[in-house]
Amino acid sequence: MTFKSFNPPERILMGPGPSDVSARVRSALSRPTIGHLDPLFINMMDEVKTLLQYAFQTKNEFTIALSAPGSAGMEACFVNLVEPGDKVIVCRNGVFGDRMIENVIRLGAEAVVVDSPWGRAVETHKVKAALHDHPDAKFLAFVHAETSTGAVSDAKTLCQMAQEHGCLTIVDAVTSLGGIELRVDEWGIDAIYSGTQKCISCVPGMSPISFSPKAVAVVQNRKTKIQSWFLDQTLVMGYWSGKGKRTYHHTAPVNSLYALHEALIILHEEGLENSWARHRAQHQVLAKGLKELGIEFIVPEEERLPQLNAIYIPDGADDAKVRNYLLEHYNLEIGAGLGAFAGKAWRIGLMGHTAKSENVALCLTALKDALNQ
Ligand SMILES: *Cc1c(COP(=O)(O)O)cnc(C)c1O
- Find the CATH number of the domain harbouring 333: 3.90.1150.10
98 pocket-lining for ligand 1 (C-beta < 6 Å): no
Domain of 210 in residue numbering reads as 23-268
- Ligand 1: which of 147, 206, 338 to mutate, judged by most atoms within 8 Å of the beta carbon? 147
In-domain check, residue 134: yes
Asked whether residue 243 carries a pLDDT value surpassing 80, the answer given is: no
Model confidence pLDDT, tens digit, residues 254-292: 999 999 999 999 999 999 999 999 999 999 999 999 999
Asked whether residue 11 carries a pLDDT value surpassing 90, the answer given is: yes
Residue 241 binned pLDDT confidence (cut-offs 50, 70, 90): confident
Distance 17 CA to ligand 1 centre (A): 8
Q: Comparing 365 with 244, which gets the higher pLDDT?
A: 365
Burial class (CB within 10 angstroms; exposed 0-12, middle 13-18, buried 19+) of 262 = buried
Q: Are residues 261 and 298 in the same domain?
A: no
Q: Supply the pLDDT for residue 208.
A: 98
Which among 112, 234, 90 has a CA at the least distance from the CA of 172? 90
Contact 78, 219 (CB under 8 A): no
Distance 1 CA to ligand 1 centre (A): 37
Q: Are residues 196 and 324 in the same domain?
A: no
- Cα(177)–Cα(273) distance, rounded to whole angstroms? 11
Among 268, 303, 330, the domain boundary falls at: 268
Distance 96 CA to ligand 1 centre (A): 8
Asked whether residue 238 carries a pLDDT value surpassing 90, the answer given is: no
Q: Mean of the pLDDT values across residues 168-173? A: 98
In-domain check, residue 260: yes
Q: Supply the pLDDT for residue 373.
A: 87
If one counts the domains in the chain, the total is 2
Q: Are residues 237 and 306 in the same domain?
A: no
Q: Are residues 29 and 153 in the same domain?
A: yes
Q: Comparing 373 with 101, which gets the higher pLDDT?
A: 101
Residue 90 binned pLDDT confidence (cut-offs 50, 70, 90): very high
In-domain check, residue 5: no
Among 268, 302, 332, the domain boundary falls at: 268
Q: Supply the pLDDT for residue 323.
A: 97
Q: Are residues 154 and 284 in the same domain?
A: no
**List of residues 6+ apart from 292 with CB closer than 8 A:** none
Question: Which CATH number covers residue 68?
Answer: 3.40.640.10
Distance 235 CA to ligand 1 centre (A): 24
Q: Give the mean pLDDT of the chain.
A: 97
Among 268, 298, 323, the domain boundary falls at: 268
Q: Mean of the pLDDT values across residues 97-118? A: 98
Q: Mean of the pLDDT values across residues 30-39? A: 96
298 pocket-lining for ligand 1 (C-beta < 6 Å): no
The closest-lying atom of ligand 1 relative to the alpha carbon of residue 204 is 7
175 pocket-lining for ligand 1 (C-beta < 6 Å): yes
Distance 201 CA to ligand 1 centre (A): 14
Residue 245 binned pLDDT confidence (cut-offs 50, 70, 90): confident
Q: Are residues 115 and 153 in the same domain?
A: yes
In-domain check, residue 348: yes
291 φ, ψ (degrees, to nearest 5): -60, -40
Distance 292 CA to ligand 1 centre (A): 31
Asked whether residue 181 carries a pLDDT value surpassing 90, the answer given is: yes
Asked whether residue 244 carries a pLDDT value surpassing 70, the answer given is: no
Kindly report the protein residue whose alpha carbon is nearest to atom 14 of ligand 1: 174
Distances (CA, A) of 318 to 120, 334, 367, 370, 372: 25, 14, 12, 10, 12
pTM, whole model, 2 decimals?
A: 0.97
Residue 36 binned pLDDT confidence (cut-offs 50, 70, 90): very high
Q: Mean of the pLDDT values across residues 76-86? A: 98
Q: Are residues 260 and 342 in the same domain?
A: no
Q: How far is CA 361 from the centre of its chain?
A: 25
Distances (CA, A) of 269 to 4, 110, 140, 160, 344: 39, 43, 34, 31, 39
The closest-lying atom of ligand 1 relative to the alpha carbon of residue 72 is 9
Distance 70 CA to ligand 1 centre (A): 5
Asked whether residue 242 carries a pLDDT value surpassing 70, the answer given is: no
